[in-house]
Amino acid sequence: MEGKLYNTYVAILKEELIPAMGCTEPIAVAFAAAKAREILGQQPDRVLLKASGNIIKNVKSVIVPNTGGMKGLEAAAAIGIVAGDAAKGLEVISQVTEDQKEEMKHFLESPGVAVVAAESDFVFDIWLYLFRGTDEVLLRIVEEHTNIVLIEKNGETLYQNNVEEKQAKLTANLLTVSNIYQFSNTCDLDDIKDIIKRQIDYNTAISEEGLRGDWGANIGKTILNYEDNISVHIRAKAKAAAGSDARMSGCELPVVINSGSGNQGITVSVPVIEYAKELGSSEEKLYRALVFANLLGLHQKAGIGRLSAYCGAVSAGCAAGAGIAYLQGCSLEQISHLIVNCLAIASGIVCDGAKPSCAAKIAASIDSAILAYNMMIAGEEFKAGEGIVKKGVENTIREVSSLGRNGMRETDTEIIRIMTSV
């Protein structure tokens, strides 16, 4: 691979595969709150949070870590203000004392956090206003979880950046299945080893915790308890689901994310790790398979965007299936057929926010990926013109991206209405 493109792929992995504690949307609110409080220089006596519909959707039903089991935008903002360290990025509330948890509860009683829906053209948009006496700070985050585009204090602009969708940088043929396959085969492991090892360690740990503890709806445990034949396929989906069980219910273990999502980071990686154990794959083969799966997950989500009514577990599960095929030495042509098969099967799953049922959607997506793999091995494939399938893997990915970004906007609006209506 040509030097500049190679370096871009390495940079994408380093930038995207980062640790986060808790669901990333409430963590983004906590990050904004911690940074705004830092700019204000003192605790506010009034807080106003304006959030786009998808932020409201993804924060409403998920437990915010280190809050004593609390949910919602108010809790996320309050813990960020009281105990957040913005320098830690998406681990902003990873170190919270018991005293700070109590302080957060008092903060929510008074002054509290006022929340309103933001009228915005962006699906990911956070406006946070902190007030103290005559002082006022405004901080805005758009499209990316830590992408601050505006900071104002007392009417003076301290920082401003053009609002742009960073994911657009991943299109224009930068990420293609062919290029990803080539990079995965040839990259110097020293360039990516630390990133991938951290993903293996972190995402395996939260998966194991999900199976040990009592988290959410215990989807991972349920899968294992009610299957007669515990094959590698069953273990792979159970362990991935268990990681989400824990994460959606406030587990304080970090996850290495993919496409801004911990659930997608778990789904992309844990099944591949489990299959590598079963197959006795070398460390090098596992690392290269995870590079392939992660970049494929990012490729699919680049055209959809961070948040959508299209469930991100579908693209992540598809990427995991492709990573499993890569582990077993499948060709680029075979893996391309698998991707098309998988997207034809499972692209109808909707995202109705972060909550315990995400674990079940992960399990369903991995089932689809394994079915797509088995079809590919059997020489079966869905053909162009059948439903949303187009000729060629890139054309199919592009049309599914259009479905997720454009076609499901009205669906997204209806999901948000249902979730927020009394």
The 10s digit of each residue's pLDDT in 39-78 is: 999 999 999 999 999 999 999 999 999 999 999 999 999 9
Rounded CA-CA distance 243/204 in Å is 8
| SS3 track for 273-314 | HHHHHHHCCCHHHHHHHHHHHHHHHHHHHHHHCCCCCECHHH
Q: How buried is 208 (Cβ within 10 angstroms: 0-12 exposed, 13-18 middle, 19+ buried)?
A: middle
Q: Residue 134: what are its φ and ψ, rounded to 5°?
A: -95, 0
Q: Is the peptide bond before 111 cis (omega within 30 degrees of 0)?
A: yes
Residue of 378, 375, 268 whose CA lies nearest to 324 = 268
- Show the domains of the chain with their CATH numbers: 22-164 (3.30.1330), 168-420 (1.10.4100)
**C-alpha atoms less than 13 angstroms from C-alpha of 320 in its C-beta half-sphere:** 35
CB 390 within 8 A of CB 384: yes
The residues that bridge with 127 in the sheet, in sequence order, are 50, 140
b/e map of 279-314 (b: 16 or more CB within 10 Å)?
Answer: eebeeebbbbbbbbbbbbbbbbbbbbbbbbbbbbbb
CB–CB of 96/21 below 8 Å?
Answer: no
Here the contacts of 230-235 (C-beta below 8 Å, separation 24 or greater) are 232/274, 232/275, 232/278, 233/366, 233/370, 235/274, 235/278
* End-to-end alpha carbon distance in the chain: 55
Q: What is the pLDDT of residue 422?
A: 58
Q: How much is the CA Rg of the chain, to the nearest whole Å?
A: 21
**Regions in the chain scoring below 70 on pLDDT:** 163-173, 422
Here the tokens at position 126 are: 């956070």
Tokens of 226: 């009610």
Residue 278 — left, alpha, or beta (φ > 0 → left; ψ -120 to 50 → alpha)? alpha
- Asked if residue 271 lies in contact with residue 236, where contact means CB atoms within 8 angstroms, the answer is yes
Helix, strand, coil percent values for the chain (each to nearest 5):
60, 10, 30
Q: What gap in Å lies between CA 413 and CA 154, rounded to an integer? A: 35
Place of tokens 């219910």: 249
